[in-house]
């Protein structure tokens, strides 16, 4: 058995936060942004939707879910200095997932987790990794899932170089666009890299756009119109936990049609609601989920009957596994649930984007 002991007072003590130089992350490419005409860099919807979309949707556009900074450096240490816009706190969701950062390194063509930037409050300066070899490597820094970003600086050694990435990974252009709920946005992943769209981005080696809006994936038609302007390889609509049957009957087909009008040759994948574990005890929840999934299946068949051959359907029965162990609160997913969801969606989406 190997025992590793890390001492906070001696491990890596030669490199301190104050000894590093800090570079504005605005200088480097931002992955996962579907629209350039936003009010600030780290926002997810066009500025023109202010006053058009519902206030709750507009507020959530500041959350940085799906966004990531790409860079390369030969620094033996990497730190971050950032300030969030909201300083969000929840009782069922880790701070690293809500407002932390998540660093990955490209090793042998695959993205490997390095470490997370753990937040201490609204503003944080922290060491993410140190004592590395000093070779030039490609990095990706995921931004907070459930908070906005006012500013971000990347800390490196004063003598080290930090440059634009040389490897196109995850590959930009023709992103996979996800529309949905808090689950799509990433609740309640322990860290940003573990949301199912971010997992799929690494698995597919493909840029994703995350348009998950916690509690507000309610088929807002102005969001569909904005989405339709993205030159996507695939649209994934995963919003059933936030809508009722009446809303689905009123707006779901219209939502699809708005996306399809500008994207006649792009696959659209409709995803059933996951099966919440407590539905097997709460009969009202059981009937509610059953009704929504049956309604979605009917809408899907109607779209197919209208001649849409590029619309596809994902059933919920295997999405998060059969053991009822994949959620933190009966609804939102743990990392286990997100991994299972990504693994089940991967063969479907990888086929569609070919």
pLDDT confidence of residue 1:
44
**Domain span(s) for CATH 2.60.120.260 in the chain:** 17-163
What is the per-residue burial (b if ≥16 Cβ within 10 Å, else e) of 128-146?
Answer: bbbebeeeebbbbbbbbbb
Q: Chain-centre distance of CA 29, in angstroms?
A: 17
Task: Read off the pLDDT band of 47 (50, 70, 90).
Answer: very high
Per-residue pLDDT of 202-219, as tens digits, reads 999 999 999 999 999 999
CA distance 66 to 174: 15
The residue whose two tokens read 């997100």 is: 338
Give the closest residue to 143 by CA, choosing from 111, 167, 165, 117: 117
Per-residue pLDDT of 281-317, as tens digits, reads 999 999 999 999 999 999 999 999 999 999 999 999 8
pLDDT confidence of residue 206:
98
The residue whose two tokens read 């390194």 is: 105
Which distant-in-sequence residues (6+ apart) come within 8 Å of 62 by Cβ?
40, 42, 43, 44, 85, 86, 147, 148
CA distance 30 to 11: 32
Cβ burial, residue 71 (10 Å; 0-12/13-18/19+): buried
Task: Read off the pLDDT band of 7 (50, 70, 90).
Answer: very low
Task: Read off the pLDDT band of 318 (50, 70, 90).
Answer: confident
Per-residue pLDDT of 244-257, as tens digits, reads 999 999 999 999 99
Per-residue pLDDT of 64-118, as tens digits, reads 999 999 999 999 999 999 999 999 999 999 999 999 999 999 999 999 999 999 9
Does residue 177 have a cis peptide bond before it, meaning omega lies within 30 degrees of 0?
A: no
**Domain span(s) for CATH 3.40.50.1110 in the chain:** 171-352
- Are 222 and 229 in contact by the 8 Å Cβ rule? The answer is no
Superfamily of domain 171-352: SGNH hydrolase (3.40.50.1110)
Whether residue 6 is predicted with pLDDT greater than 70 in this model: the reply is no
Mean pLDDT, the chain, whole residue set: 95
Task: Read off the pLDDT band of 143 (50, 70, 90).
Answer: very high
Tally Cβ neighbours within 10 Å of residue 90. 13
- Are 111 and 104 in contact by the 8 Å Cβ rule? The answer is yes
Percent of the chain at pLDDT > 90 equals 95
Whether residue 15 is predicted with pLDDT greater than 90 in this model: the reply is no
Whether residue 11 is predicted with pLDDT greater than 50 in this model: the reply is no
In CATH terms, 17-163 corresponds, of 3.40.50.140, 2.60.120.260, 3.30.830.10, 3.40.47.10, to: 2.60.120.260
Whether residue 168 is predicted with pLDDT greater than 90 in this model: the reply is yes
pLDDT confidence of residue 10:
35
């Amino acid at each position: 058995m190997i025992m590793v002991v890390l001492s906070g007072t001696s491990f890596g003590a030669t490199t301190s936060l104050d000894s590093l130089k800090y570079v504005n992350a605005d200088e480097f490419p931002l992955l996962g942004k579907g629209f350039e005409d936003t009010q600030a860099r780290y926002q997810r919807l066009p500025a023109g939707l202010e006053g058009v979309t519902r206030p709750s949707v507009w507020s959530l556009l500041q959350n940085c879910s799906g966004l990531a900074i790409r860079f390369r450096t030969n620094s033996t240490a990497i730190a971050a200095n950032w300030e969030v816009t909201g300083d969000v706190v929840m009782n069922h969701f880790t701070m690293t997932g809500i407002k932390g950062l998540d660093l990955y390194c490209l090793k042998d063509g695959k993205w490997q987790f390095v470490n997370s930037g753990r937040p201490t409050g609204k503003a944080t300066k922290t060491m993410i990794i140190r004592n590395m070899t000093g070779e030039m490597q490609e990095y990706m820094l995921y931004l907070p899932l459930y908070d906005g970003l006012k500013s971000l600086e990347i800390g490196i050694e004063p003598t080290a170089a930090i440059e634009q990435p040389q490897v196109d990974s995850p590959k930009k252009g023709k992103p996979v666009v996800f529309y949905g709920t808090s689950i799509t946005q990433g609740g309640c992943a322990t860290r940003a890299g573990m949301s199912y769209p971010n997992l799929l981005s690494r698995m597919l080696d493909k840029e994703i756009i995350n348009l998950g809006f916690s509690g507000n994936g309610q088929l807002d038609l102005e969001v569909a119109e904005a989405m339709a302007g993205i030159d996507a390889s695939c649209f994934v609509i995963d919003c059933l936990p936030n809508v009722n049957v009446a809303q689905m009957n009123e707006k779901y087909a219209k939502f699809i049609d708005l996306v399809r009008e500008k994207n006649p040759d792009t696959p659209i994948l409709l995803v059933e609601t996951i099966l919440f574990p407590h539905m097997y005890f709460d009969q009202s929840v059981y009937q509610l989920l059953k009704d929504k999934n049956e309604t979605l299946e009917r809408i899907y068949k109607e779209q197919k009957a209208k001649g849409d051959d590029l619309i596809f359907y994902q059933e919920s029965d295997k999405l998060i596994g059969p053991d009822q162990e994949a959620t933190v609160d009966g609804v939102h997913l743990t990392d286990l649930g997100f991994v299972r969801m990504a693994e089940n969606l991967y063969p479907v989406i990888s086929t569609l984007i070919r």
